Amino acid sequence: MEAPDEQQARSLSERAFRFRMMGALREARELYLRSLEQWRALGNQRGAAEALQKLGEIEMDFQRAEEAEAYLRESAALWERLGEWESCADCLRKLGRMARGQGRHAAAEAIQRERWRAMELSRLQWEDSARRGEPGR
């Protein structure tokens, strides 16, 4: 791999997004994997979390539940570490839908509780920044 470069990682993610929007999921997947490698090498957790979330969504499109779940769980954990509760809740929503679709109702309920917690933390975060007069997250 070349030396990690933030601009290259961003460019790979943008190209992957365009391929995904055109329905070229295999190409998008490969580009997101390359961008993930760059983000990790750079130590950029936000970039890695975004790439992991997109990879999870693509695996869902391919109906590869095990791979999708692994990517989405890792993404949710990174979003949580970063305090990005809205993005964390989005990953959890997708994980819950997958569990429910597989008939894993107890798992879906547990994930839903995690999601509610993340949504509440997101609301509190927003209220706190509003009180301080900061722009919302």
Which band of pLDDT confidence, cut at 50, 70 and 90, is reported for residue 2?
A: low
Q: b or e along 32-69 (b: 16 or more beta carbons within 10 Å of the residue's beta carbon)? A: bebbbbbbbebebeebbbbbbbbbbbbbbeeeeeeebb
Please, is 114 exposed, middle or buried when counting C-beta atoms within 10 Å of its C-beta (0-12, 13-18, 19+)? middle
- Report pLDDT for 134: 78
Among the listed residues 102, 80, 100, 104, the one whose alpha carbon sits nearest the alpha carbon of residue 90: 80
Per-residue pLDDT tens digits for 62-106: 999 999 999 999 999 999 999 999 999 999 999 999 999 999 999
- Report pLDDT for 3: 67
- Report pLDDT for 42: 96
What is 6-131's CATH number? Answer: 1.25.40.10
Give the pTM: 0.90
CB 90 within 8 A of CB 72: no
- Report pLDDT for 136: 57
